[in-house]
Amino acid sequence: MNKIRLGVNIDHVATVRNARGESYPDPLRAAILAQKSGADSITIHLREDRRHIKDSDLKKIKKKLKIPLNLEMAPTKEMLNIAIKNKPNYVCIVPEKRKEITTEGGLNVKKNKKNLKRIINELKKRKIRVSLFVEPQVSDIRLSKILGANCVELHTGKFSNLFHKNNRINLSLMNLKKSAIYAKQLGLEVHAGHGLTYKSAHHVAKIKSISELNIGHFIISESLFVGMTKSIKRFRKIINK
């Protein structure tokens, strides 16, 4: 059995809270419930515009959580300082554009290599596991290894979009698979995520070189109907089949 870890992204609990400027639903409560329901780690993305997770959420969650906390962040000085101060177990460096609805693509590793190398070094010095969110393509994966990242997280957005449109997924899935094998051969730990649902995660989880999936929007959406515990448990079953 391919035992894949499940990281649960709880950003959109904060989105609902912020829509009314209230104190509920509380992302900390979601993190603790996800932990209890079988999540292997909790992911939060502290965006530069703080549109969902806030600095206070990061502090509270880090203090109370028993499983690893994975902080997604843009490669900026501000975010590096926040990570150093709060010491999440993992950091996943992601690109950020103010006007995007979600993280629409992987990092431009080549363009940012100097900055990324410095940030990776600073985080690794503090024993924080560093992952780069990249497109499933050889050049970015190879460069991630050269820059010293521990892991790559392959962006599954394109695959998910094709999947949901009932388009041909074979090429895209094959590309994910080839990229995952290549990354693992280089000695990188391989993660994947973005836009995954029960059905699409089932295909991605069959790729043996992948050891972690990070899933958020669909879990929070399903939680409205079946609750977070059921949704997480169902994902666990699907990805460990």
Least separation in angstroms between CB 195 and ligand PXP: 4
Taking the least distance from each CB to ligand PXP, the nearer of 1 and 224 is: 224
Tokens encoding 71? 């902080």
Taking the least distance from each CB to ligand PXP, the nearer of 1 and 18 is: 18
Least separation in angstroms between CB 219 and ligand PXP: 7
Taking the least distance from each CB to ligand PXP, the nearer of 1 and 19 is: 19
Tokens encoding 25? 């639903």
Least separation in angstroms between CB 149 and ligand PXP: 13
Least separation in angstroms between CB 14 and ligand PXP: 12
Active centre residues (catalytic): 45, 72, 194
What string of H, E and C letters represents the secondary structure of the chain? CCCCEEEEECHHHHHHHHHHCCCCCCHHHHHHHHHHCCCCEEEEECCCCCCCCCHHHHHHHHHHCCCCEEEEECCCHHHHHHHHHHCCCEEEECCCCCCCCCCCCCCCCCCCHHHHHHHHHHHHHCCCEEEEEECCCHHHHHHHHHHCCCEEEEECHHHHHHHHCCCCCHHHHHHHHHHHHHHHHCCCEEEEECCCCHHHHHHHCCCCCEEEEEECHHHHHHHHHHCHHHHHHHHHHHHCC
Least separation in angstroms between CB 9 and ligand PXP: 5
Tokens encoding 105? 């693509």
Taking the least distance from each CB to ligand PXP, the nearer of 185 and 221 is: 221
Q: Which of 163, 231, 165 is nearest to 9 (CA)?
A: 231
Taking the least distance from each CB to ligand PXP, the nearer of 1 and 103 is: 103
- Interacting residues toward ligand PXP by CB under 6 A: 9, 11, 45, 72, 92, 94, 102-103, 133, 153, 193-196, 214-218
